[in-house]
Amino acid sequence: MPYVETRRACQSRICYKSHSHPTFSIGAVDIGQSRFSSAFAHEQVIQAGSLVVIPAHVEHACNPLPDQAWSYQMMHLDATWLAGLIEELQQNIQLKVEIDTLYFPNLKPNIINNSNLYHAFSALNSILFDSHMSLIQKEHCLIQVLTDILLPNFNWEKIQSSHYFQQYLSDLLECLEDNIENLSLQELSEKLNISRYALIRLFKHYFGLTPHAYQLNYKVNQARQRLRAGCDLAQLACELEFADQSHFHRVFKQHTGITPKQYYKKS
């Protein structure tokens, strides 16, 4: 099931850097509390029983409160696969929403405190972790729970369009398709013909990340995809132009909570 990735963390004290995923992500808090923050939503404390819905490319971070641990679940759904599922459902439920699968965040994250949804999500995740169930059974349960319970109850609120430096946005999106991970701040500012300061503000406004943070985040997402395909760790660190394997290890763990080797073994 290459369109879904799920994980559990128990009694974790790991803190994450602000990041985003190209996937549509759903999180659930099992034990303890965490502080959810995003450039596209109000910061708030989430607790046991909370669901966190994070659309693709939305910058965010969830970190435990000081000197506390928390347990949680996190599911990542391929945005293209989910968009296809939603398109099928639009004939049956009132769900008129577009999921952007390219680079741009267009839906706000939201927190849901509903025990029925939390338990439905947790039961689904348990099924996906069950080694005794077939892939067909798991796919059936995934689609059924998403369509009958989860998707109809999500708050689909679009991020308000902005005119901030909008004349540069189309050029920036073109740059994101062209070796964005290796362009320096100076090179990128020259391509867009704006100052480095304006470029930083442009990224922060539309993506919630600085250009450098965006580039590192992009590399980590590329690494996740290639690790799932079995790419060698040393080769990957070199190809993604990290300074060395230690740098790759550190950045990957800051974004995902586990090391590249651990991710590779669990994929």
With a pLDDT cut of 70, the percent of the chain lying above it is 95
Q: pLDDT for 93-104, tens place per residue? A: 555 566 766 778
Report the chain's mean pLDDT, rounded to a whole number: 90
The answer to whether the CB of 58 falls within 8 A of the CB of 20 is yes
DSSP 195-217: -HHHHHHHHHHHHSS-HHHHHHH
Half-sphere exposure of 185 (CA within 13 A, CB side): 14
The answer to whether the CB of 69 falls within 8 A of the CB of 12 is yes
Domains and CATH numbers, the chain: 4-153 (2.60.120.810), 166-266 (1.10.10.60)
The pLDDT value recorded for residue 221 is: 93
Phi, psi values for residue 241, rounded to 5°: 60, 40
**In angstroms, rounded to a whole number, what is the distance separating the alpha carbons of residues 162 and 139?**
39
Task: Please compute the mean of the pLDDT values over residues 30-58 and round it to a whole number.
Answer: 96
Mean pLDDT check: name the lowest of 162-171, 185-194, 200-209, 230-239: 162-171
- pTM attached to this predicted model: 0.90
Phi, psi values for residue 63, rounded to 5°: -130, 145
The pLDDT value recorded for residue 177 is: 74
Phi, psi values for residue 31, rounded to 5°: -140, 140
DSSP classification of residue 244: S
13 pLDDT tier (thresholds 50, 70, 90): very high
**In angstroms, rounded to a whole number, what is the distance separating the alpha carbons of residues 113 and 4?**
23
